[in-house]
Copies of this chain bind each other. A is one copy, B any other.
Amino acid sequence: MELSLTAEQTAFRDEVHAFLKESLPEDIKHTQTSGGHLSKEQHQRWHKILGDKGWSTPLWPLEHGGTGWSPVEYAVFDEECYRMGAPRVLPFSVSMLGPVLINFGNDEQRKRFLPGIRSGEDWWAQGFSEPGAGSDLASLKTSAVRDGDHYVVNGQKTWTTLGQHGDWIFCLVRTDASAAKPQIGISFILIDMRDPGVEVRPIITLDGSHEVNEVWFTDVRVPAENLVGQENMGWTYAKFLLQNERIGIAGIGQSKEQLVSLRRLASAEKKNGKPLIEDPSFRAKLSEVEIELRALDLTNKRMLVETERGMDPGPVSSMLKIRGSEVAQRLFELKMDAAGLYALPFQPEAGDAGWNDQLAGTLAQARSAPHYLNTRKISIFGGSNEIQRSIVSKMMLGF
């Protein structure tokens, strides 16, 4: 047993560090570390820089542009990114769609779409959830009816993250309404969001930010060649996609970054004339979450290694998502509490690029409550923690 990095892994970390130091644009780093929202241009610029380096799709098979990194190397990369203030590439194209196209798409589709994913030129959105189909994803209603060499799509998707920037959206649609079980009769299809009949409507979340959207489809004509895999087999691909998320799902890098920023805030705040971070009751809470994160970091690496060796990945990703989201939410909560009274003024624009009005409190204080509120979502979206628990209990208890 050896829990330190090997010499090779240390060298790899140094390589990542050197690359990020040289290549990460200052403005992107600043937006990222101050808790602001990256603009579309910032997202795409950074994606392209990584893509040019060959690091935008590290977990793909080598022949499609992957790096061949081990899970531990990926974790090292992930952490170094957060340590240096580098954003993560959005998961929709790289971690979700890409593996599906590689495994279930055809050559034509791979040739057409993988380059735009690697470079970040194509902005992909995810079209799974619907108003009536949240946790119960299989009850989705958006329909795709075959009409010659097209499908005609009608319906509504929701919670589409950053769909306002989208060029393309991959959707689950119902192609056979008469199927015996709701899981049957679903297909996986790619829709150009610039086509007529596609409308994106913003959803403002309770923290005042515009991150998610509704996407409406009215008689949208989608070429049949945009169907991925076989018709009515979409549920299989969707399950593959969701299980495939386990690497990075615990959010270790992000939580380590938040821990640093929490410590910074608590050092600046005062209690009884001394820095808050020296207060015994605050320290105990800080230590608890710090220890939980320390454990999660090791658990994450250990489980990824075990998965590589054949352990069932199903419960692993769910377990990591459950505890990872709890740790992240706790960190944001402590940050809000540490911010004190200045968590209360509501200045949601304060995180936007270019906002230059006068703040009540510091930017870290101003962003603390919106961040707390915003991160309530991480135990809801992408399969709520209740759903994750049911997945684990099904696999490990049989119920």
Q: Can you list, as one digit per residue, whether each of A268-298 has a CB less than 8 Å from chain B (1) or not (0)? A: 0000000000001100100000000000000
Q: Which residues of B contact A281 (CB under 8 A)?
A: 280-281, 284
Q: Can you list, as one digit per residue, whether each of A157-187 has a CB less than 8 Å from chain B (1) or not (0)? A: 0000000000000000000000000000000
Distance between A376 CB and nearest chain B CB, rounded to angstroms = 23
When C-beta atoms are compared, the residue in chain B nearest to A280 turns out to be: B280
Total interface residues on A, using CB and 8 Å? Answer: 3
Distance between A198 CB and nearest chain B CB, rounded to angstroms = 39
Bound complex: CA of A284 vs CA of B285, how far in Å? 12
Please report which residues of chain A, range 249-284, place their CB below 8 angstroms from some CB of chain B when the two chains form the complex: 280-281, 284
Distance between A287 CB and nearest chain B CB, rounded to angstroms = 11
Q: Which residues of B contact A284 (CB under 8 A)?
A: 281
When C-beta atoms are compared, the residue in chain B nearest to A284 turns out to be: B281
Q: Which residues of B contact A280 (CB under 8 A)?
A: 280-281
Bound complex: CA of A276 vs CA of B280, how far in Å? 15
Bound complex: CA of A284 vs CA of B280, how far in Å? 11
Bound complex: CA of A220 vs CA of B238, how far in Å? 63
Please report which residues of chain A, range 281-318, place their CB below 8 angstroms from some CB of chain B when the two chains form the complex: 281, 284
Distance between A103 CB and nearest chain B CB, rounded to angstroms = 41
Bound complex: CA of A280 vs CA of B281, how far in Å? 7
Distance between A304 CB and nearest chain B CB, rounded to angstroms = 35
Bound complex: CA of A284 vs CA of B284, how far in Å? 11
Distance between A317 CB and nearest chain B CB, rounded to angstroms = 29
When C-beta atoms are compared, the residue in chain B nearest to A283 turns out to be: B281
Bound complex: CA of A190 vs CA of B284, how far in Å? 56
Distance between A199 CB and nearest chain B CB, rounded to angstroms = 38
Bound complex: CA of A284 vs CA of B281, how far in Å? 8
Bound complex: CA of A280 vs CA of B282, how far in Å? 11
Distance between A251 CB and nearest chain B CB, rounded to angstroms = 29
Bound complex: CA of A280 vs CA of B279, how far in Å? 10
Distance between A283 CB and nearest chain B CB, rounded to angstroms = 10
Bound complex: CA of A51 vs CA of B66, how far in Å? 84
Distance between A291 CB and nearest chain B CB, rounded to angstroms = 15
Please report which residues of chain A, range 82-122, place their CB below 8 angstroms from some CB of chain B when the two chains form the complex: none
Bound complex: CA of A249 vs CA of B112, how far in Å? 70
Bound complex: CA of A281 vs CA of B287, how far in Å? 13
Bound complex: CA of A284 vs CA of B282, how far in Å? 12
Distance between A334 CB and nearest chain B CB, rounded to angstroms = 16
Bound complex: CA of A392 vs CA of B280, how far in Å? 39
Please report which residues of chain A, range 322-352, place their CB below 8 angstroms from some CB of chain B when the two chains form the complex: none
Bound complex: CA of A280 vs CA of B285, how far in Å? 13
Bound complex: CA of A135 vs CA of B217, how far in Å? 51
Distance between A278 CB and nearest chain B CB, rounded to angstroms = 12
Bound complex: CA of A280 vs CA of B272, how far in Å? 14
When C-beta atoms are compared, the residue in chain B nearest to A279 turns out to be: B280
Bound complex: CA of A280 vs CA of B284, how far in Å? 11
Bound complex: CA of A335 vs CA of B280, how far in Å? 22
Bound complex: CA of A281 vs CA of B285, how far in Å? 11
Distance between A150 CB and nearest chain B CB, rounded to angstroms = 45
4 contacts between A and B (CB under 8 A): A280-B280, A280-B281, A281-B281, A281-B284
Q: Which 4 A-B pairs have the closest CB atoms?
A: A280-B280, A281-B284, A280-B281, A281-B281
